[in-house]
Amino acid sequence: MSAHALQRPIVVTAPPAMRLVPGKRPSVDDLYPRLFDAILEQRIVPTSRFTEEGLAQAFGVSRSVLRRVLARLAEQQVIILRPNLRAQVAAPDAEQVQHILEARRLMEVSVVQLACVQATPGQVRRLRELLARQRASVEQGQQGAAIRLCGEFHLLLSTLAGNRPLAQFLNSLVPLTSLVIARQGAFTGAWLEQAEIVEAVERRDAGTAACLMTRHLDHLQAKLA
């Protein structure tokens, strides 16, 4: 792609299912999954630069709400924001991906062990609800949503662990991993492996949970290698 092409604004048309309900004042929580899904489904082309105005029009939201969502995605390293330049979707290279996965493995083993101690029955149900939504998204061909929900499982698990620094650290790694997964092609879901992790957490079996998380992340790394 030429340098000139990269500078052109990318206009994204949100499909009907993604548009906000007429008359409802959109919020950051409304827009975030819709915009992230569009990025994961590459309806916003990786490495392209786009305008706030174009995205706001495509998704039917105000620029103030859009800016807050872009800031959230920038915090998660999915979007790159620079002064006086258009926002840009991140494009991590192979070495960055390797480092991200290595860091995740180190952190998430601790996270799942802590979750085995901290998680309540209600929180375990929330994990299972996420898995059900991920599976439904895969079956309905909603690749972006399925990938995002796969990552949200890990973020929720980190929240349940009760260690805020760990959760904040993973918040900057997991969504970026989702972006890399999306570029690898068809996503078949990870709910079966994640369901085994949930069962171990429910049993408070920290040893098994750690082994299952390591296996899950090993499989992910093998797919992205």
Residue 79's contacts (CB-CB under 8 Å, 6 or more residues apart) are 39, 70, 73, 87, 88, 89, 90
**Six token digits for residue 220:** 């992910």
pLDDT value of residue 26: 76
With CA atoms as reference, report the closest residue to 38 among 70, 68, 5. 70
Domain co-membership, 111 together with 138: yes
With CA atoms as reference, report the closest residue to 34 among 9, 6, 55, 48. 55
Task: Judge whether 92 and 219 are in contact, CB under 8 Å.
Answer: no
Which domain does 142 fall in, by range?
94-224
pLDDT value of residue 15: 42
Tell me the average confidence (pLDDT) per consecutive run of 10 residues in the chain, 225 residues long: 35 43 73 94 76 87 93 93 86 90 94 96 97 95 94 96 94 93 84 97 97 94 82
Query: Which residue among 30, 59, 89 closes a domain?
Result: 89
Domain co-membership, 137 together with 100: yes
Query: Which residue among 56, 74, 89 closes a domain?
Result: 89
Domain co-membership, 109 together with 84: no
- How big is the CA angle at 150 (ends 95 and 57), to the nearest 5 degrees? 90
Query: Which residue among 73, 89, 105 closes a domain?
Result: 89
The torsion of the CA quartet 217, 221, 222, 225, rounded to 10 degrees, works out to 180
Domain co-membership, 60 together with 117: no
- Tell me how far apart the alpha carbons of residues 107 and 190 are, in angstroms, rounded to a whole number: 19
pLDDT value of residue 203: 97
Domain co-membership, 191 together with 168: yes
- Tell me how far apart the alpha carbons of residues 224 and 136 are, in angstroms, rounded to a whole number: 23
pLDDT value of residue 107: 95
Paired sense of beta strands 79-80 and 49-50, if any: unpaired
